[in-house]
């Protein structure tokens, strides 16, 4: 359910929990560095990754 609006558009919000077992992958630091390199926010990178994952999984099931 949309939490708030921005310029008349509804925004959805998620939070991400990195399990302790995955901490050694340094996810947040790697996202930060990649975001700086590509001049993109961490949020942008995460949304792009989610969209790519969904597209790939949906193709498998089609």
pLDDT score, position 11 = 77
Per-residue confidence (pLDDT) for residue 26, from 0 to 100: 96
For 1-50, the pLDDT digits (tens) are: 455 666 667 778 889 899 999 999 999 999 999 999 999 999 999 999 99
Mean pLDDT for the stretch of residues 41-60? 95
pTM score, whole prediction: 0.75
Which pLDDT value is given to residue 50? 96
Residue 23: half-sphere exposure toward Cβ, Cα within 13 Å: 3
């Amino acid at each position: 359910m949309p939490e708030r609006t921005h310029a008349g558009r509804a925004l959805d919000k998620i939070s991400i929990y990195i399990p302790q077992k995955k901490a050694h992958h340094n996810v947040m630091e790697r996202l930060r560095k990649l975001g700086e390199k590509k001049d993109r926010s961490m949020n942008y990178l995460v949304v792009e990754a989610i969209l790519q994952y969904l597209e790939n999984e949906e193709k498998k099931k089609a």
